[in-house]
Chains A and B, each alone.
Chain A
Amino acid sequence: EIVLTQSPGTLSLSPGERATLSCRASQSLTSSFLAWYQQRPGQAPRLLIYGASTRATGIPDRFSGSGSGTDFTLTISRLEPEDFAVYYCQQFGSSRLFAFGPGTTVDLK
């Protein structure tokens, strides 16, 4: 079973700053099956990035994903007020099971 770890647990930043979020897998992943989601308070998660680096439909280009193997990164180039939220990475395994990381909270400094 592949375990995802996210760091930091909380990132305190100001609007306009750059956010760098990390997701690490306990075993090497197929990059095609690494995704990132955003969850705002009281809302369902929203798909941001799939295939490690491809933005989902309608996602602004300030969001970017990168990485391979066991280390993946979500970068928000300039934080907008609506970007303060919780971010989850997710992998899809060969057994057709989905697994989420514990999340990183981006909050207002």
Chain B
Amino acid sequence: QVHLQESGPGLVKPSETLSLTCTVSGGSITSPTYYWGWIRQSPGKGLESIGSVYYSGTTYYNPSLKSRVTISVDTSKNQFFLKVNSVTAADTAVYYCARAYVGLGVYDSWGQGTLVTVSS
């Protein structure tokens, strides 16, 4: 049973960089069957896909966030990462990491989510 766990600062100052790590256990991040993605949810709002990464390092980004977002992977640590530059209060959200099944185009396993607040 795969398990995903987000970690990182819960408070980030405006204009700075938000950085999160997702640690995967119970499965290998190098499996060709899966993408690894980030999704966020602003308070009281719906789900917004940020982007995803394949174990090879190939990335796919939401066009609305692409200019500020970097997703990367470290296969040696079974981790993948999210960076969002130049954050504002609008980036305050619960950030989820999740596993996506390539052949089905679905997120089949999710982390519990971590709240990141952008505030001075």
Contacts and interface: CB of A to CB of B under 8 A. Distances in A.
Contacts, number: 69
Interface in B18-68: 35, 37, 39, 46-49, 51-52, 60-63
B106 A92 contact: yes
B46 A98 contact: no
Nearest to B4: A44
Contact of A32 (B49, B52, B104, B111): B104
B107 A47 contact: yes
Dominant SS among interface residues on chain B: strand
Interface residues of B, number: 26
Interface in A29-44: 32-33, 35, 37, 39, 44
24 contacts: A1-B63, A35-B105, A39-B47, A44-B98, A44-B112, A47-B108, A56-B108, A90-B47, A96-B52, A96-B60, A97-B49, A97-B51, A97-B62, A97-B63, A98-B39, A98-B52, A98-B100, A98-B105, A98-B107, A100-B39, A100-B46, A100-B47, A100-B49, A101-B46
